[in-house]
Structure 1
């Protein structure tokens, strides 16, 4: 709790599926999601519901956007980045840690 500054009830472990965040996150990785950190400022990797399900993506706030918007970025360059307004997505939380089976 001390390092993350979140109570255990505000943390969730989820598993990555797919390759859109490779090489950073790969299918099967476990991620720790801090549900108290929903603002995409500073930029980082978040779990969000984009209307089609939960996904892990890099989010960057787009300054001076009206309405407020974010840039949604996959680390795998085979997936194009796109923009969404704050109303079009629901940010579940910021990914703070991950683990990979060896």
Structure 2
């Protein structure tokens, strides 16, 4: 098997609320709405994040995103009003841990 792309998925209880939070995180509206209850951000040609309305499973997802500058990402998130404790050591890199409104974990990782 050869993996050629990745779509991370977060399950949420309120799609409108989640859309606002993820739009703030990514600095833009979703790139697509492929079906009812699903929105997507295409982050690279081969990677993206899906946010799926599934109240019974909401809050049980983790998404790890590599970023080029953790400090800049943390500053941008603070300016946008996204709560976090700032960059911290993690797994040989530095990380910023975030929780969406349902408690899904989003981890930004980089130098």
TM over 0.5: no
Question: More helix by proportion, 1 or 2?
Answer: 2
In the superposition, the TM-score normalised over structure 1's length comes to 0.31
In the superposition, the TM-score normalised over structure 2's length comes to 0.29
